[in-house]
Amino acid sequence: MATCYITDVHKILATLGEGTFGKVVKVKDMDMDRVMALKIIKNVEKYREAAKLEINALEKIAEKDPEGRNLCVKMLDWFDYRGHMCLAFEMLGLSVFDFLKDNNYQPYPLEAVRHIAYQMCYSVKFLHDNKLTHTDLKPENILFVDSDFEIMYKLGWAQPCDVWSIGCIVFELYLGITLFQTHDNREHLAMMERILGPIPYRMARKTKTKYFYHGKLDWDEKSSAGRYVRENCKPLHRYQTSDDEDHRNLFDLVSRMLEYEPGTRISLAEALRHPFFDKIPTSQQLGDFRAAGDEARERSHSLSR
């Protein structure tokens, strides 16, 4: 079979994934003698424009964090090849979703959930501090550095939407199931109310969607869909598999991340100081939060004496 090259120097080794935007392939840069993940965007104007915005964001990230201390994926290069925007990235390992799938959706151990959640909060806080919002956080977009799984991960609207996404991801890692398993908007809202309680009247009145009537969700609980939601969803804390302090802390953090009101939802800076992360070893704490955690523990210790 003939060797396939996308350019004179980029030898295609394998296809890593495909989507509506294009595909990602594993390539070897023959000039630099290095293996990379190359994201090849379809030659469609809206995808080209989206790719340019992504490149701008990635260049800003590289400028603010040239050494990659904030766990964001590193773009090595980009170029336009016959109308296809091509973005080259460092080669990473499996996504946390693929690892979950390969293990028959067995949940992650709580300690792994703790580390993944901590590093997600740390990394996305860096984006928020630099006025960037991810908007597409999901297990498929969080990658192990390599397949030996040293719990180091990479991540790629208004910033509170990212916090909500992280809350959903933490839940999925803990139980191995998706929190809101539906693609129907009205059913999704019904699941939210079943799991998190009623959507606040102020928000329901303010929305321009067709799903609410006089400030309440327009939903028939006696329909087949209504029965499905009632039988397959339950209040958030009833998903807790143990009453140990670690599990209670995890669910307290998730519930704060899933506050309906964006203004009262926990920030990532606050999340990083949540008791759930107190057991992160000092050697594995990141940035300013290492010192902050030590100070908090010292204050707690002095008060108890």
What confidence tens digit (pLDDT) does each residue in 54-78 have? 999 999 999 999 988 898 988 999 9
Q: Is the pLDDT of residue 10 over 60?
A: yes
Q: Pick the residue with more confidence: 164 or 303?
A: 164
Token look-up 């050494």 returns 67
The residues that are catalytic are 136
Q: Is 171 helix (H, G, I), strand (E, B) or coil?
A: helix
Burial string for 176-191 (b: 16+ CB within 10 Å, else e) reads eeebbebeeebbebbb
Label the pairing between strands 34-41 and 142-144. Answer: unpaired
Tell me, what's the pLDDT at 104? 77
Per cent of the chain over pLDDT 70 is 88
What's the DSSP call for residue 179?
Answer: S
Tell me, what's the pLDDT at 304? 33
Residue 1: pLDDT band with limits 50, 70, 90: very low
Tell me, what's the pLDDT at 196? 96
Per cent of the chain over pLDDT 90 is 50
Q: Is 110 helix (H, G, I), strand (E, B) or coil?
A: helix
Tell me, what's the pLDDT at 159? 84
**CA–CA gap between residue 252 and residue 236 (Å, rounded):** 10
Q: Pick the residue with more confidence: 152 or 34?
A: 34
Does residue 241 contact residue 171 with C-beta atoms inside 8 Å? no
Confirm whether residue 74 is marked as ligand binding: no
Closest by CA to 94, choosing from 143, 129, 137, is 143
Lowest mean pLDDT among 141-150, 245-254, 281-290, 292-301: 292-301
Q: What is the mean pLDDT of the chain?
A: 85
Tell me, what's the pLDDT at 181? 85
Query: Phi and psi (nearest 5°) for 175?
Result: -110, -15
Q: Is the pLDDT of residue 298 over 90?
A: no
